[in-house]
Structure 1
Amino acid sequence: MEYVSTRGGAEAVDFEGALFSGYAPDGGLFMPQHIPSLDRDTLQRWSSFSYPELVKELCSLFITAELVPRNTLNDLIDRAFSRFRHKDVVHMSRLKDGLNVLELYHGVTFAFKDLSLSCTGQFLQYFLEKKQKHVTILVGTSGDTGSSAIESVRGQKNMDIFVLLPKGFCTQIQELQMTTVIEKNVHVFAAHGNSDEIDEPIKELFADVNFARKYNLMSLNSVNWSRIMVQIAHYFYAYFQCTPCLDTTPLPVVEIVVPTGGGGNITAGCIAQKMGLPIRLVAVVNSNDIIHRAVQHGDYSLSESVKTTLASAMDIQEPYNVERILWLLSGSDSRLIKMLMEQFSVSKRIKLPEDLHRNLSETLRSCSVSDEDIVRAIQRCWLENQYLLCPHSAVAAHYHYSQPDSIPRCCLAPASAAKFQDALLRADMVLQLPPELTVLTAMETRSTPLERGQDWAQVLRGQIEAAAQQ
C-alpha cells in the first residue's frame, strides 16, 4: 500500500512516510494509491465486530504487516483505547423518532478526535522508538483537535508538540484542556485570530522545506492520513448498528449524518463508501457553509468572514480535506486537483467542473444549519428523550428531524454536551460538569500569546529552535 499526493507532484510513500508528513511536499494531501474493495462476505463477517475490532481490520488494510506486524498493530490499538470511559469505546443511543446517535466522545477530552489521535499517537511512538528519532508536531485547532493531540503525545521524550488555539473562539473548557497541560514537550499558543488565520503560519513553516526537514515537522491535524484512516471505522460500526439485516439483495442503505468542519470525518465516510459500504452521506454544516454551497451549486468559495456560531469547532471557511474528496471523485485526477487548488489558493474562489460537481452531489447530500436550528434541536431532543446533545451533534439531529422519510439513519455525535455550556444555556439547559472537567478551573495554566501584528511564523520558528536545543 503506497500513498500519493492529491496533486501528483510528490514521490509515493509508505504508511510511515504518510504518518510523519503534514502536507505532501507539493502542497497536496496523501491518499492511498488504491482503495481496497470489500465483498459481501467480508461485510457479513465484520457485522458482528466490536468497534476496536473494526479499527484493527481497517488499519491492517492500509498498513502493511512488513511495517507493523498484525499482532503489534492490535496491541497498539488496544493501548490507544485503554483510557476510554465506555467499555465499548463508542456507544449508540437509540432515541425517539428514529434518532440514532453514535457517541464518539468517550475519550479523555470528551471529543471524537480522541479516537483517531490516540491511535495515531501509538503509531508515532512505535516508529520513533524503533528509529530513535525526534519529531516536532504542529497543530492548529478550532477547539477539540488541540487537546486530543496533546493527550496523545504528552510527556513523550521524542516528540514536541506546538498547538495554536484561536483565543476567544474556543469554549473555556476546550481552552483549559490545552493550557492546563504542564509538560516539557507541550507548547500552547493563544493566537488573536480565527481558525483559518492560525493555519497560515503552520502552512508557511511546512512550506519551508529545509526548516521542516531539519526539525522533522509533522502535523496531527486531519491533513494526517492516519486520522482519516481510523475514522473510516465510524461508518462501518454505524452501518452495522443501524442495518436491520445483511441477507437482502441489494444490501440495505443506511444514511449517516456527519457534522462537518475541516472535512476529515466526511472524507473517511467517502472512503468507506468507495470500499463498498452501502451508505448515503450527509455533510451538515453551520452558517460557515462552503461545503454546502459546493455540493449544491459547485461553488467552492470563501465568504467574507468566518461566522461565529454555537457549533464553534465547525467555524471553518477552508475545509482542506475537500481536496481529498475531489481527488477521489475525479478518478484520482491529480492534474485537475492541482489546477483547482492552486486557483483557489490565489482567488479563494473556484467553480467546480460540471462532471466533478455532479459526482460530488451524487456522493454527498448537504445541509446548512443556523444557531436557532441548533437550539431547537437541543430542546426537542431533551424534551423527547431527556438526552442532551452538544451543538455539533444538534446540527446532525436538526437534519434528521427535518426529514420526512424513514430510512435507517445514524447521526454522528462528535463531542459531549458538557464541553459547551454556553450553547446549553442558550437552549435553557444546564448540565452538571463531570469531575474531570470541573477540576480544570482550579489548575495552573500556561500558554504564549500571539498578538495581531506579530509575525506568528517567526515566533513559532524561534520557539521550535529553542525547544530543540533543550
Structure 2
Amino acid sequence: MDIFVLLPKDLCSQIQELQMTTVIEENVHVFIAHGNSDEIDKSIKELFGDADFARQHNLMSLNSINWSRIMVQIAHYFYAYFQCTPSMDMTPLPAVEIVVPTGAGGNITAGYIAQKMGLPVRLVAVVNNNDIMHRAIQHGDFSFSGSVKPTLASAMDIQEPYNMERILWLLSDCDGSLIKTLMEQFYTSKNLTLPEEVQRKLSEALSSCSASDEDIVQAMRRCWEDNRYLLCPHSAVAVHYHYQQLDCHVSNRPRCCLAPASAAKFPDAVLRVKLVPEVPPDIQALKAMETRSTTLRREDDWAKTLRDRIEAITKRRHT
C-alpha cells in the first residue's frame, strides 16, 4: 500500500506538519500544497471522479469522502449516549445533546445517521468563523462568504463542507435528482439558497452555533481554570457552545462535547491562552527528525502531479 498525504502550507500547526513530514518510509508520499483544504479536496475529487483511474490503481480515501470513515464514527454516538444518559429504564429514552466541532461535516453526518437509526440524540454543529454550515442550518444560506478564513481551529477552515450533500440527501427522503440539482448549482455558482422544505427539515435535525477565535480562547481558558483540562482549539469550539448554554440556563439535559484532537498538537493556541503547552517527549522528538515532502505550488496542476506519481508507482511495482 502507498499512502499519499496532502496538507495545506502554513494552515496547520508545526506539530501537525511534522507528524506527517517526518514519516519518510518509501511508501509514504507527503505533499505540501500552497492552498487551503478546499483546494486540496478538489484535486482529490478529480482523481476519484475518473472512475477508470480510481479502479485501476485501487484508490481509497481515509477522510470523510470515504463512507467507511462515517460508518465507523456512527458507533461513537451510541457510546457517547450510553455514557451520558442518566437511565436506560425510562420510556421514552431520555435525549442527550451531542455537540460536534464541524468542518467538512463527516462527524455530524455520522450523528445524523445515528439519529435516524433511532438514537435519541439532539445534534449541534458548531463551526468556527468559516460558518457556511451554520448559515445553512439557520437561514438556508448555503453559499460562500469570501475566501477561507484562517482560525485557531485550522482543521475546520473549510468553505465547502462536502458531507452536506449526504445530509441533504438523507433528509430529502433520498431524492437524488433534487440533491444533484442543488449541489451542481452550489459548485457552479458558489451560491445556493436551500428550498424552504429542505431548510426546515435541516433545522429540525440539527442546531448550530459559530465560535470566533476569541470564543475558542475563552473556552480553553475557562475549561483549564474550572477543570485543569487542556482543550485543543477544535474541542474548544464545542465547549464554547456548552458554556454559552450553561450561562444562559437554556437546558439541563445531558450534554456531550466531542473532542477531536489533543492540545499537544497546538502549542501556539495554548500559548495564546497564556497557558503552558504540555509537550509529550514523542512530540518534542519530532523537531529533531528528518523530514521529507514534495511542494505543490499554486501554479502547478495538483491533480496531474498526483496522477503522474501514482502511475509511476504502479509501473514500478509491476516491473
Fold shared by both chains (TM-score > 0.5): yes
**Any idea what SS the aligned residue of 1:413 has?**
coil
Correspondence 1:333 to 2:175: yes
Query: What percent of counterpart residues are identical?
Result: 74
Q: Tell me which of 115, 134, 140 is aligned to 1:273.
A: 115
Shift of 1:312: 0.5
Partner of 2:288: 442
Show the counterpart of 2:17: 175
Counterpart pick for 1:253 among 83, 87, 95: 95
Q: Is the counterpart of residue 238 in structure 1 residue 80 in structure 2?
A: yes
Equivalent position SS for 2:26? coil
Say if 2:74 is the partner of 1:211: no
Partner of 1:363: 205
Between the aligned partners of 1:293 and 1:354, the Cα distance in structure 2 is 14
The alpha-carbon deviation at position 236 of structure 1 amounts to 0.7
Q: CA deviation at 1:349?
A: 1.3
- Indicate the residue corresponding to 1:185 in structure 2: 27
Secondary structure, aligned partner of 2:192: strand
Q: Alpha carbon RMSD of aligned pairs, Å?
A: 1.0
Equivalent position amino acid for 1:172 in 2: Q
Give the aligned partner of residue 315 of structure 2.
469
Cα deviation for residue 248 of structure 1 reads 1.5
One-letter code of the match for 2:304? Answer: Q
Query: Is 2:131 the counterpart of 1:285?
Result: no
Distance in 2 (CA, whole Å) between partners of 1:343 and 1:350 is 7
Partner in structure 2 of residue 423 of structure 1: 269
- Higher relative contact order at CA 8 Å, sep ≥6: structure 1 or structure 2? 2
Q: Which amino acid aligns with 2:194?
A: L
Contiguous gaps of at least 5 residues in structure 2: none
Distance 1:210 1:274 in 2: 34
Q: Could you say what secondary structure the match of 1:247 adopts?
A: coil
Alignment of 1:344-359 (within 5 A): 344-359=186-201
Aligned to 1:452: 298
Letter in 2 for 1:243: T
Partner of 1:6: none
Superposition deviation, residue 464 in structure 1: 1.0
Shift of 1:213: 2.7
- Which amino acid is 2:147 matched to? S
Q: TM-score, normalised by structure 1?
A: 0.65
Alignment of 1:362-441 (within 5 A): 362-403=204-245, 404=249, 405-441=251-287
SS at match of 1:349: coil
Once the two structures are superposed, residues 320-376 of structure 1 have per-residue CA deviations (whole angstroms, 9 ceiling, x without a partner) of 011111111001111111111111111111111111111100010000000000000
Query: Do the aligned partners of 2:235 and 2:259 also contact (CA within 8 Å) in 1?
Result: yes
TM-score (norm: length of structure 2): 0.96
Distance across 1 between alignment mates of 2:278 and 2:132: 35
The SS at the match of 2:208 is: strand
Counterpart amino acid of residue 263 in structure 1? G
Q: How many Å apart are 1:424 and its aligned residue?
A: 0.6
Name structure 1 gaps, 5 residues minimum: 1-158
In structure 1, distance between residues paired with 2:166 and 2:42: 20
1:141-191 deviation digits (Å, cap 9, x = unpaired): xxxxxxxxxxxxxxxxxx112121101101011111111111121101011
- In 2, Cα distance between equivalents of 1:207 and 1:415: 30
Letter in 1 for 2:148: V
SS in 1 for 2:86: coil
Residue identity in the other structure for 2:277? L
- The separation in 1 between residues aligned to 2:90 and 2:66, in whole angstroms, is 37
Contact 2:22 2:286 (C-alpha < 8 Å) held by counterparts? yes
**Residue of structure 2 equivalent to 1:49:** none
Hey, what's the Cα distance between the residues in 2 that align with 1:384 and 1:391? Answer: 17
Find runs of 4+ consecutive structure 1 residues off by over 6 angstroms: none
Q: Which amino acid aligns with 2:63?
A: N
C-alpha displacement of 1:460: 1.2
Residue 184 (structure 2) aligns with: 342
Q: Does 1:314 align with 2:156?
A: yes
